[in-house]
């Protein structure tokens, strides 16, 4: 009964989110933030993958920008340099990034905890150096421009309004798929690995294989987001995928709550608003703000800001109901 009630509430919340997202582009609502919301959608996709990897499975990644960038560059190079259809390029990028994650997954998951964090950090740095140095493919530090928009038949996703709906279509699909996985035996296995690898293994869970699979899934998400990014801004440059980008992704996941799928929207949203609207005048000093946020959230609300807010809301609702029940 209690769970039924709870799931009714979450359906209501999702419905409210839908309405909110559809209303955003209207000028009388939040129309001027349509472009910002495109980025929120893109970063939400990466963050969800990171949440599943870090929050649910307990495997730290400080190099998620590597997969984000790999997807972006493969899409950019295929569609710009080789004239491949952008949709096909996006698909190839996701497949290649996933394969890449699969190949590095087995050696990298021989490591645990801090060592794994260091290895993923190294991966992020290596990929960033490749983006900068492979000039003949990537355009070096200047990156590439003139990447085409996505299109279906004659319908080109050329305006930010069209791209807004495109990105959020993908974003919501990713969120729903992730929620389905989390609420299944797969999700339980992932959380079991986080809880105790020894116990998980004794219950028949193939720990290493699960870790690799979830790394592949998070890499495919990141690649998809990277592709959507380049088909939105039609340019790509390596700064988008440097070490700080990986740190920002972790900040997004942490603010949203590491073990919260829908919190990812909140985390990505809060962080994008911070960096696009509030922290511009800080210049490169914004790193300090991100560091501070990370430290404060981890100390005071390790479940994440979003999860904490949800808790407060639940508590208020209960108190309200109790008051109402009194004669």
> Looking at 8, 158, 206, 239, which residue binds another protein (CB under 8 A)?
206
Among 204, 283, 324, 327, binds another protein (CB under 8 A): 204
Which residue number, 158 or 196, has a Cβ lying nearer to another protein?
A: 196
* 203 part of the interface to another protein, by CB under 8 A: yes
Nearest-approach distance from CB 42 to another protein, in angstroms: 20
Alpha-carbon span 130 to 143, nearest angstrom: 12
192 near another protein, rule: CB under 8 A:
yes
Query: Does 101 interact with another protein (rule: CB under 8 A)?
Result: no
Q: In this chain, which of 110, 112, 135, 185 binds another protein, going by CB under 8 A?
A: 185
10 counts as binding another protein under rule CB under 8 A: no
Is 265 one of the binding residues for another protein (CB under 8 A)?
no
Pick the binder of another protein from 202, 299, 300, 321 (CB under 8 A).
202
Candidates 63, 69, 124, 187: give the one binding another protein (CB under 8 A).
Answer: 187
Asked if 30 is part of the footprint of another protein (rule: CB under 8 A), the reply reads no
| From candidates 53, 62, 76, 186, binder to another protein by CB under 8 A | 186
Enumerate residues 161-180 that contact another protein by CB under 8 A.
Answer: 177, 180
Residues that bind another protein (rule: CB under 8 A) add up to a total of 29
Query: Among 141, 195, 291, 302, which residue sits at the site for another protein (rule: CB under 8 A)?
Result: 195
Site for another protein in 272-301 (CB under 8 A): none
Three-state SS across the chain? CHHHHHHHHHHHHHHHHHHHHHHCCCCCCCHHHHHHHHHHHHHHHHHHHHHHHHHHCCCCCCCHHHHHHHHHHHHHHHHHHCCCCHHHHHHHHHHHHHHHHHHHHHHHCCCCHHHHHHHHHHHHHHHHHHHHHCHHHHCHHHCEECCCCCEECCEECCCHHHHHHHHHHHHHHHHHHHHHHHCCHHHHHHHHHHHCHHHHHHCCCCHHHHHHHHHHHHHHHHHHHHHHHHHHHCEECHHHHCHHHHHHHHHHHHHHCCCCCCHHHHHHHHHHHHHHHHCHHHHHHHHHHHHHHHHHHHHHCCCCHHHHHHHHHHHHHHHHHHHHHCC
Q: Is 80 in the site for another protein (CB under 8 A)?
A: no
Q: Binding residue for another protein (CB under 8 A) from 51, 167, 217, 253?
A: 217
The C-alpha torsion from 56 through 62 and 68 to 73, rounded to 10°, is -150
Select 213 or 248, whichever has its Cβ closest to another protein.
213
Is 213 a binding residue for another protein by CB under 8 A? The answer is yes
Contacting residues toward another protein, per CB under 8 A = 2-3, 177, 180-181, 184-189, 191-192, 194-196, 198-207, 213, 217, 259
């Amino acid at each position: 009964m209690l769970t039924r009630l709870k799931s009714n509430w979450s359906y209501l919340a999702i419905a409210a989110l839908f309405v909110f997202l559809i209303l955003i582009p209207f000028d009388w609502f939040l129309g001027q933030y349509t472009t910002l919301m495109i980025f929120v959608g893109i970063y939400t996709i990466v963050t969800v993958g990171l949440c599943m990897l870090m929050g649910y499975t307990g495997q730290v990644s400080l190099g998620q920008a590597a997969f984000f960038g790999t997807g972006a560059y493969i899409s950019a190079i295929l569609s710009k340099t080789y004239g491949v259809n952008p949709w096909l390029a996006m698909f190839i990028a996701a497949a290649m990034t996933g394969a890449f994650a699969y190949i590095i997954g087995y050696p990298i998951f021989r490591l645990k905890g801090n060592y794994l964090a260091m290895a993923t950090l190294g991966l992020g740095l290596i990929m960033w150096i490749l983006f900068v140095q492979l000039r003949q493919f990537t355009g070096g530090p200047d990156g590439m421009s003139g990447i085409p928009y996505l299109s279906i038949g004659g319908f080109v996703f050329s305006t930010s309004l069209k791209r807004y709906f495109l990105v959020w279509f993908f974003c919501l699909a990713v969120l729903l798929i992730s929620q389905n996985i989390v609420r299944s035996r797969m999700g339980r296995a992932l959380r079991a690995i986080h809880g105790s690898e020894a116990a998980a293994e004794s219950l028949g869970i193939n720990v290493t294989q699960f870790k690799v699979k979830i790394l592949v899934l998070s890499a495919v998400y990141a690649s998809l987001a990277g592709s959507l990014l380049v088909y939105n801004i039609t340019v790509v440059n390596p700064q988008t995928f440097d070490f700080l980008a990986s740190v920002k992704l972790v900040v997004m996941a942490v603010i949203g709550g590491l073990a919260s799928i829908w919190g990812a929207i909140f985390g990505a949203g809060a962080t994008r608003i911070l960096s696009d609207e509030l922290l511009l005048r800080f210049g490169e000093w914004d790193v300090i703000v991100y560091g501070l946020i990370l430290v404060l959230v981890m100390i005071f609300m390790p479940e994440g800001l979003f999860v904490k807010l949800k808790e407060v809301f639940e508590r208020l609702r209960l108190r309200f109901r109790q008051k109402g029940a009194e004669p």
